[in-house]
Chains A and B, each alone.
Chain A
Amino acid sequence: MEALIIKATEDTPEIIFDPENEVFEISNVSLPENAIEFYAPVLDWLKKYMKNPLPKTVFNFNIEYLNTASSKQIFELIFLIDKINEHSDVLIRWHYDVIDEDMKSLGVRFTHLVKVKFELVEYEKDEEEEEDDYDFN
């Protein structure tokens, strides 16, 4: 199956669903105005993948910020992943910044709503690397 690769923008995440290389990851921020439109092709892709999944799939959710419109769509993804889990081995890794208790609780919330195995992965960001200060002169 052909990989789904969507590059990150300022307000939408990077998505790599690549069965050949066994990489399934959503990262960066998800703040689109129209989350339904953005996630529609992702959901479509998963529906196709569902028919013939790898024996084992690990989905990494590594999102830094998301709006509530996106959280509904992310749950739609997780809902489908839960179905894939019915006939293959699936794990969701939910990554969150140690200071982001809301991202953590969203992960915890999802674990209560689906059966698929969930791993909550806490990470600590290095001192926010200060963006280069350049002079205007």
Chain B
Amino acid sequence: MRQTTKRSLKLTYDLFSRVKTGDFEYIYRGAFTQNLTRKILSLAESNLQRFVDKSSLQNRIYFIMVEGLQNVTRHQEPTSESKSEHAGIFAIQKVENRYIITTGNTIVNTKVDSLKQRLEKVNNLDREELKKLHREILSTGELSDKGGAGLGLIEMARRSGNRLTFDFEYIDLYWSYFYLQTEIPSRTYTRDAAEELEESNAMRDIKHLNHILDKKDILLNFNGSFNQNNILSLLSIIKGQMRVNKSAKKVYYIMVEMLQNISKHGNFHEENTDGNPGIFYLGQTEDEYVLTSGNYIPTEYVADVKERLDIINDMDNNELNEYFNKILLDQNVIDPKKTGLGFVDMRLKSSRKIAYDFKEIDDKYSFFTLQTSVQIN
């Protein structure tokens, strides 16, 4: 059996602690299809419903997500290079009362200038001018070759009530990477210097994060409250994204255990009525999928959980199977969640040892990171 490397276990808490309790961050990297887009939207939606009271605001956020996702889907260049630095990205972040939506995709260098000009044009118009331009394009029917006409950009600017933040990153002679960021709720059009700075920080932040995720081959990262609704949405994204094969099935099974682990056991001193704070990310290397979860646990439980994990990690296949059967047959065990059955199952399905880490956070709580992987066949 292979030992899952501990290399990225420290990263988990760093990523997790980027997001304050009550906020969330959801990032998807990879190829975008309409089917997947729908699933991403439903996940974002179920998160929004819990935070956003005003349905008008919810609608605006939703609209901008749809538009952004469509942009990526439509404009992702059919590149033969499957390099992960070419992967499209969609991110939605809730930072206190701001919602930041970022998309990213590759673009051929020859198109950069014209896109930049269009973005600058949109950014220089005020609300009335945007409305007028919108009407003009609709009536002249002037469409771009991708059917966009820049209408999407105009609508995004209108609905967010904000300037569009963008950035182009040079990849190589042929490609650049295009980031587009929108922030909601709107602020006034006249922005002060502090706001401008904050805006550029949000862009720098997501670019930095995308580079980390790229380096670690992370495809999907959810950082926020875990409840059954979110879990089902995350699972359906995985189901929609992966080819149905042996490895995908295993990833799915293990994900279920990891995610439900967080929603059942992960807790923190703050009242969490609609889920427990945690993080889950899925990475893909050449030969395996790597699954990582992180959540708080009371420090007083750490010794027990650690002991159980060590015992289970030391078992060979026969012992794991015997242990599994014993719990099934034990009539005194009504609820198996305290028996470590989930860990045993994880080991059997992954054929790997479970990597883990505990980090003390304060006098009461620790952060528990769990990682395993599934071979790609």
Task: Give the size of the chain A interface in residues (CB under 8 angstroms).
Answer: 29
- Pick from B66, B250, B263: contact of A102, CB below 8 A: B250
Task: Give the size of the chain B interface in residues (CB under 8 angstroms).
Answer: 39
Name the interface residues of B334-350: CB closer than 8 Å to any CB of A: 334-337, 341-342, 345, 348-349
Contacts A33-B260, A102-B349 known; A68 to B336 CB distance under 8 Å?
yes
Q: Which residues of B contact A72 (CB under 8 A)?
A: 327-328, 333, 336, 341
- Asked if B253 CB lies within 8 Å of chain A CBs, one says yes
- Residue contact B257 to A113, C-beta cutoff 8 Å: no
- Asked if B34 CB lies within 8 Å of chain A CBs, one says yes
CA distance A97 to B70 in the complex (A): 34
- Residue contact A133 to B336, C-beta cutoff 8 Å: no
CA distance A119 to B249 in the complex (A): 22
Q: Which residues of B contact A67 (CB under 8 A)?
A: 253, 256-257, 260
- Residue contact B228 to A113, C-beta cutoff 8 Å: no
- Asked if A109 CB lies within 8 Å of chain B CBs, one says yes
Q: Which residue of A lies closest to B69 (CB)?
A: A136
- Pick from B232, B324, B336, B348: contact of A11, CB below 8 A: B232
- Residue contact A113 to B325, C-beta cutoff 8 Å: yes
Residue-by-residue, is A1-44 near B (CB-CB < 8 Å gives 1, otherwise 0)?
Answer: 00000000011000000000000000000010100100000000
- Residue contact B263 to A33, C-beta cutoff 8 Å: yes
- Residue contact B228 to A11, C-beta cutoff 8 Å: yes
Q: Which residues of B contact A49 (CB under 8 A)?
A: none
CA distance A113 to B328 in the complex (A): 9
- Pick from A71, A109, A133, A135: contact of B33, CB below 8 A: A133
CA distance A113 to B342 in the complex (A): 20
Q: How far is the CB of B295 from chain A (nearest CB, A)?
A: 15
Residue-by-residue, is B211-255 near A (CB-CB < 8 Å gives 1, otherwise 0)?
Answer: 000000000000000001000100100001000111001101100
Q: Which residues of A contact B34 (CB under 8 A)?
A: 133-135
- Asked if A65 CB lies within 8 Å of chain B CBs, one says yes
Q: What are some 30 contacts across the A-B interface (CB < 8 A)?
A: A10-B232, A11-B228, A31-B256, A31-B260, A33-B260, A33-B263, A33-B264, A67-B257, A68-B336, A68-B341, A69-B337, A72-B327, A72-B333, A99-B246, A100-B246, A102-B250, A102-B253, A102-B349, A105-B348, A109-B324, A113-B325, A113-B329, A125-B244, A128-B244, A131-B35, A131-B240, A133-B35, A134-B34, A135-B34, A136-B37
Q: Using CB atoms and an 8 Å cutoff, list the residues of chain B in contact with chain A.
A: 33-35, 37-38, 66, 70, 228, 232, 235, 240, 244-246, 249-250, 252-253, 256-257, 260, 263-264, 321, 324-325, 327-329, 333-337, 341-342, 345, 348-349
Q: Using CB atoms and an 8 Å cutoff, list the residues of chain A in contact with chain B.
A: 10-11, 31, 33, 36, 65, 67-69, 71-72, 75, 97, 99-102, 105, 109, 112-113, 125, 128, 130-131, 133-136
Known: A102-B253, A109-B328, A113-B325. 15 other contacts (CB 8 A): A11-B228, A36-B334, A65-B252, A67-B260, A68-B257, A69-B335, A72-B327, A72-B333, A72-B336, A99-B246, A99-B249, A100-B246, A113-B328, A133-B35, A135-B34
